[in-house]
Structure 1
């Protein structure tokens, strides 16, 4: 029987247990065990992708958990820790001779053994195997072939953000400038876009879209995620869902309204003003040539009117609990004590049940937040938008 599985596939490790930096911009408290404990006990995530598992110390920590019988490796791929399955991943930066700018991609391996092979192969192509999001000195297609040789998954990351992404800066018009389209398993949208914005891009019509947190701190886990229909939370079932085989699929994407994304609209980096779409070079307010092209504008440049070649699930605009005005740490703890996990609060608990624990006004805000019925102040230029309850 198929199950509802909640998954966030883009989570960073800030430091190892010894204090060694992995994602330099990540929180020092963002360790492997902290992520696993938070995902299973607090967030209620069934499946997580930690995308720094190529780092040798991280591999050692995973193996140590298994030796201590705190986790075990699944025959169908992944490592089970309590009620959460870890999929071993790596985020990598590509900037070969075919790229217009750097591109981040996510790669996932089915087993610890495969990740060890991949890490050892990467070591010869990166400057520091211990760090996250390292630039790899080989062509994008070479990386794709290595990933699929190891039965892994290859997903371009946050593909529309202005910096270090496929369409933000990496290519002029087509992903085929850098990648083999047949060796892409899914497309990660990123915080400033959603399914409805990008459904007009013809060459993406064949791919499933994933929505992930790109968490650099514990609190950001599951700020974006997806619900999948799987037999179990493991690598092989995830692969089937991405390719919509044997009835497995993504049944819903949950993410911030793109208007909240910090790169949604074009903004001048010098003065911070939002700029009209027809402005292409100079800021009309300060005159500087420092425009950061918004995701919305870039998507319109790439769009036509094709029909998707696969089933597109709904994209539900949802605001995480800690984004909601008035919902602070103490309130969240009350809710967790009553209902167990954030996934329960966001998907299963009724408004009436919420009102038994917190004030009616806050319960109403949570209900608006989880159904996307909110006013929004638009974000851009690296500044997030804001939630407006109109009160």
Structure 2
């Protein structure tokens, strides 16, 4: 059984998240995407954990199920804000737990450190090392993964408040860190430039703040398990050992699509590759302020290998742009949540089963039976990695360039929670009409 797993998302109780997020909506839209295992997100929030307990069933495997059969794994994200080495540090870490009993214990110990009710991603004034020690005092089965490891502001390697190594961040607890999350602005090939990460698994997740398909599952992990053998313990072991019998691949967006791939200054609208930034003394030539140093530059600083071929024995990855954006460009729509885009998306999903099936597997001739050739061609170009992206910088998403002969559109603001206007039918309604 092949499993697409998006193991880092958020609930409606996290800031800047869709208020329509629920177990039901996540289950419905994950299935349409092709995701069959979701992280719950935010399990320590008092209201969200009530909803999780009311809507998810445990069976002792550590893989919970909703009433529709969608699988979930208990997860949350913790913000660690602290001082170390004479510098303020801000690092996000994802936690995974095997069962509600363990989550209750985590809630108890975190509740003694600070409030849990004000945000789904709570802030604690403890170091990364202290977080690992605290979690392991609860259960050795709790897994800690540095979130979006390279993001400037909140990544463990981030240029603004991160570290130069996992050892520096986690000290003697580094031995318990066996994976990092690459984040949207880096991909496995970039990470494998660091020999220090050779024994660290690279996982990819969406960090979605809504259930819309251009957010949920935009990055994911691909596993292979017999259904009866899928457990929390076996999945974590597959990640830890990078066992390709079970951990088959990751799904990535082009790292240029991420909001922090190259250096830049959003207010002045300027962006630069690392070499240009160094010539500028890391300052914006328009206003003189410091540029936000992006992920590509940070990888360059820490890497001990040149950019080269991807290691043959490393876990493969697929680089794709969400289907909604492909359709939007093909038909000349302004937004991925327009009525026409949803109609085409729903038609394809209804025929082929899921977005991942469409993007990764369906032959062009089959696609062309249901959509015009422009869309079919773009889907194949996407699958082959033949779509370039104008790099994102300083919080601005990268812009896919589908037609090099035309100027690329201006990047859209990061409205992650927005979906189709209320007066338009939902994807579910379109699907019903198509069936």
1:239 aligns with 2:245: no
Counterpart for residue 225 of structure 2 = 230
For 2:118 and 2:42, the matched residues in 1 are separated by 9
For the residue of structure 2 that corresponds to 1:107, the secondary structure is: strand
Q: Which residue of the other structure, out of 198, 201, 204, is the alignment partner of 2:191?
A: 198
Q: Which residue of the other structure, out of 2, 12, 18, is the alignment partner of 2:10?
A: 12
1:74 aligns with 2:64: no
Give 1:310 deviation, angstroms: 11
For 2:388 and 2:83, the matched residues in 1 are separated by 44
For 1:102 and 1:44, the matched residues in 2 are separated by 33
Q: What TM-score do you get using the length of structure 1 for normalisation? A: 0.90
Task: Spell out, residue by residue over 1:120-160, the C-alpha distance to the aligned partner (whole angstroms, 9 max, x if none).
Answer: 21111123345222112333222212333421111000011
1:342-361 matches, cutoff 5 A: 342-361=355-374
Whether the aligned pair in 2 keeps the contact of 1:269 and 1:290 (CA below 8 Å) is: no
Aligned CA distance change for structure 1 residues 272 and 101 (closer, same or farther; 3 Å): farther
Whether the aligned pair in 2 keeps the contact of 1:267 and 1:294 (CA below 8 Å) is: yes
For 1:96 and 1:79, the matched residues in 2 are separated by 34
Moved more, 100-109 or 309-318: 309-318
Counterpart for residue 254 of structure 1 = 251
Q: Which residue of the other structure, out of 17, 20, 32, is the alignment partner of 1:26?
A: 17
Counterpart for residue 330 of structure 1 = 343
Give 1:309 deviation, angstroms: 11
Task: Give aligned pairs, total.
Answer: 375
Moved more, 206-215 or 361-370: 361-370
Whether the aligned pair in 2 keeps the contact of 1:205 and 1:310 (CA below 8 Å) is: no
In structure 2, stretches of 5+ residues that fail to align are 332-340, 406-435
For 1:5 and 1:292, the matched residues in 2 are separated by 37
Give 1:48 deviation, angstroms: 1.0
Counterpart for residue 53 of structure 1 = 43
Counterpart for residue 164 of structure 2 = 173
Counterpart for residue 305 of structure 1 = 305
1:1-391 matches, cutoff 5 A: 3-14=1-12, 22-40=13-31, 42-65=32-55, 71-81=56-66, 82-98=68-84, 100-129=88-117, 131-148=119-136, 149-150=138-139, 151-168=141-158, 169-179=160-170, 180-219=173-212, 220-232=215-227, 233-244=230-241, 248-275=245-272, 276-278=276-278, 279-284=280-285, 286-305=286-305, 311-324=313-326, 325-326=329-330, 328-390=341-403
Give 1:387 deviation, angstroms: 1.3
For 2:284 and 2:357, the matched residues in 1 are separated by 46
For the residue of structure 2 that corresponds to 1:326, the secondary structure is: helix
Give 1:181 deviation, angstroms: 1.4
For the residue of structure 2 that corresponds to 1:243, the secondary structure is: helix
Aligned CA distance change for structure 1 residues 371 and 254 (closer, same or farther; 3 Å): farther
Whether the aligned pair in 1 keeps the contact of 2:178 and 2:199 (CA below 8 Å) is: no
For the residue of structure 2 that corresponds to 1:226, the secondary structure is: strand
Moved more, 334-343 or 188-197: 334-343
For 1:265 and 1:301, the matched residues in 2 are separated by 13
For 2:89 and 2:130, the matched residues in 1 are separated by 18
For 2:358 and 2:118, the matched residues in 1 are separated by 37
For 2:43 and 2:245, the matched residues in 1 are separated by 26
Whether the aligned pair in 1 keeps the contact of 2:30 and 2:216 (CA below 8 Å) is: yes
For 1:245 and 1:227, the matched residues in 2 are separated by 12
Give 1:51 deviation, angstroms: 1.9
Q: What TM-score do you get using the length of structure 2 for normalisation? A: 0.81
Aligned CA distance change for structure 1 residues 181 and 255 (closer, same or farther; 3 Å): same
Aligned CA distance change for structure 1 residues 357 and 27 (closer, same or farther; 3 Å): same
Counterpart for residue 19 of structure 1 = none
RMSD over aligned CA atoms reads 2.2
For the residue of structure 2 that corresponds to 1:218, the secondary structure is: coil
Moved more, 71-80 or 296-305: 71-80
Task: Spell out, residue by residue over 1:182-218, the C-alpha distance to the aligned partner (whole angstroms, 9 max, x if none).
Answer: 1113100000101111212232111110111110111
For the residue of structure 1 that corresponds to 2:39, the secondary structure is: strand
For 1:353 and 1:382, the matched residues in 2 are separated by 38
For the residue of structure 2 that corresponds to 1:277, the secondary structure is: helix
